[in-house]
Amino acid sequence: MPTCAMRWRPATPRARAAGHQVELVEAARLGLPLLTSQDAWQHGTPPPGVAAVQEAIHKAQHLVFFYPLWLGDMPALLKGFLEQVARPGFALDPAPRNPLRAGLLGGRSARLVVSMGMPALLYRWFYGAPSLRLMRRNILGFAGIEPVRSTIVGSTGALDAAAAERLFARMRRLGVQAR
């Protein structure tokens, strides 16, 4: 099962044909440095490229994140990307009256598409889907994005061409619906 954005692009033309504006951001290709302190996150100057991504998110009504499960979580570059982009003043109110309602990105929904080698049911029910919970509650939910739906693609090494095509067809349908 492919996990790179290039393979998922068949959904993009269908979403555009349905009248949706689509902007593809490949976090790993941006070359953003990792943050090394809380002070840098709160007060540092974002590197070039972050402002354009923040503008795209600001304009978006629906966000979709595709990522492979690596060592039980999202890849480090995706986490670093989110830390750079979701800074106070953009995703979070720097001085909220209620710290549980600090999100500034309300009015948007999201979908998480996570691929992995293990069976999806094992990840969801035995392990409790920790990466999905982290993204749904601690990152996107805290920023005010809801609902956050998910698609887990398990046993990717065992997918045959027919199963992959069914998955792509599902992603195309979701793209048309912006879900």
3-state secondary structure of 8: helix
- Alpha carbons 16 and 63: distance in angstroms, whole number: 14
Confidence (pLDDT) at 10: 53
Confidence (pLDDT) at 5: 34
Please give the average pLDDT of every successive group of 10 residues along the chain, which has 179 residues: 38 79 90 95 94 95 95 95 96 88 94 96 96 96 96 92 88 85
- Alpha carbons 10 and 73: distance in angstroms, whole number: 25
Q: What is the pTM of this model?
A: 0.89
**Residue 57 phi, psi (nearest 5):** -65, -40
User: Could you tell me whether strands 148-153 and 62-68 are parallel, antiparallel, or unpaired per DSSP bridges?
Assistant: unpaired
Strand (E) or helix (H) holding 148: strand 148-153
